Amino acid sequence: MSLKSCLLFKALLCATLVLLVVISFVRFDVKSVSSDFDRRDLAVYPSLKDADGKLNSNYLSQINSYLEDRFGLRQVFLRSDYVVKTNTDNNIRRGNMTWNTKTNWFNYSPIGLFTDDMNSRFVEGLKKIDAYFKSQGTELYLVMIPEPYEVYREECDYIKKDLAYREKTTLKEVETQTDIPVIYPLDRLEENSTQDFVYFKADHHLTDFGSYIVYKQISERIQKDYPDLQIMDWESLPKIKTNKIRSDRNRNFHIGQTALSMGINTEDHLDVTYTYYDPQPKFEIKELGANKQPYRVWHNEQGYPLKIYMLGTSFNENLVPFFGKAYSDIYYTRLNGNWKDDELKILKYRKELVETFKPNIAILTICPKNVKDFLKADFAQED
């Protein structure tokens, strides 16, 4: 290449880089709250001071995250990267999702650690809602569902470190500062994962077997206050088997929410069979309430005479049927979904349901990433 051609090439390269920088700043995104591509909230502009009025020690790293999330061509680069990137470690990534093509495990990338301030605010929020439930004669339980990669660390081998201590620290604060019963089924799920799948491979939710393990652990805690409660045995329950996945509110089988979110439209990755609880006779489920926050009601004459109000995120979809079989009355409110933030704050309970239903127990089911969701909204806000 001649000197003139080399200079021309360098000039074009520099001009292209300058143009990209200009376009990025011209299209700098300050309005978006979340990214559909990443399926997560975008970083917000940080404050120089923290909640205590002290200098924010993480300001520079938070500014860096803010700029990374907001520059104008961000999604273009992410989509291009996903198209061309099949990594040598057998992982294909799209945004914060990963598909290990060797093991056919799909996963979301780990969330960050919780700060002391986050833990403090989380506990204070729980105290508020616990005080309200106590005023209604209801005992609040907190159920924290681990992430799949905390149970299947070897199968999800792109995650090398144990992150379970993140929520263990948070839950220790809850147990120290409140009398709320805490259910954290990580050990139980690990113990039983050799018997059958406790999480789906192409979906971040618990399988029916995994949900049964959680139901059993919660019921064992309830049994301390109600000694004559009988806990259902997994082996005695009617079941069906299929390689498809059922985790949604509509109870349909599909190829996995995480796989669908990554744009997968084949069934080639469905390489194992799952066992599902098949209630007989079928439940009569009433779905009531406005479209923005429907709730469901189970009544079972043969169930143990307890009223349980189940609220929380999508992990309840596979968990609630066990409670509908085991207990006499269940109210269930799904607190996250495809609703706008101004219509429904995540983890917001329905005051009128509590005061009408008058439950004995309220079970709040969340996962680690919901701790941050919890802090974005007024957890104890009432309708």
pLDDT in tens, 91-121: 787 877 888 888 899 988 766 667 788 888 8
Q: What share of residues in the chain are helix, strand, coil (percent, to 5)?
A: 35, 20, 45
The structure tokens listed for 39 are: 């399926």
Residue 225: what pLDDT? 96
Residue 85: what pLDDT? 45
Q: What is the DSSP string of 205-228?
A: SB-HHHHHHHHHHHHHHHHHH-TT
Residue 181: what pLDDT? 97
Residue 92: what pLDDT? 82
Q: What is the DSSP letter of 115?
A: P
**Single-letter code of the amino acid located at 57:** S
Residue 45: what pLDDT? 75
Angle, in degrees to the nearest 10, between helices 164-177 and 116-135: 50
3-state secondary structure of 14: helix
**% of the chain with per-residue pLDDT over 90:** 37
User: Over the chain, what is the mean pLDDT?
Assistant: 79
pLDDT digits (tens, 9 = 90+) for 56-97: 777 777 777 776 666 655 555 554 544 444 444 677 878 778
> Are the beta carbons of 180 and 172 closer than 8 angstroms?
no
Model's pTM, two decimal places? 0.74
Of 40-54, 99-113, 260-274, which range is least confident?
Answer: 40-54
Of 61-70, 183-192, 193-202, 225-234, which range is least confident?
Answer: 61-70
**Single-letter code of the amino acid located at 257:** Q
Residue 360: which pLDDT band, with cuts at 50, 70 and 90?
very high
Residue 172 has pLDDT above 80, yes or no: yes
Residue 209: what pLDDT? 98
Residue 294: what pLDDT? 61
Q: Is the dihedral of CA 347, 199, 167, 364 positive or negative?
A: positive
Higher pLDDT, 327 or 109: 327
pLDDT digits (tens, 9 = 90+) for 24-39: 555 556 666 665 444 4
The pLDDT of 355-366, averaged and rounded, is 92
Residue 276: what pLDDT? 97
Higher pLDDT, 336 or 149: 149
3-state secondary structure of 34: strand
Please list the residues that pair with 361 across neighbouring strands: 139, 308
> Are the beta carbons of 181 and 142 closer than 8 angstroms?
yes
Cα-based angle 96, 209, 130 (whole degrees, multiple of 5):
70
Residue 198: which pLDDT band, with cuts at 50, 70 and 90?
very high
User: In terms of DSSP H, where are the helices of the chain?
Assistant: 3-26, 59-70, 74-84, 116-135, 148-151, 164-177, 186-192, 208-225, 257-261, 316-326, 351-357, 370-376
CA 214 from chain centre, in angstroms, equals: 15
Pairing label, strands 327-334, 361-366: unpaired
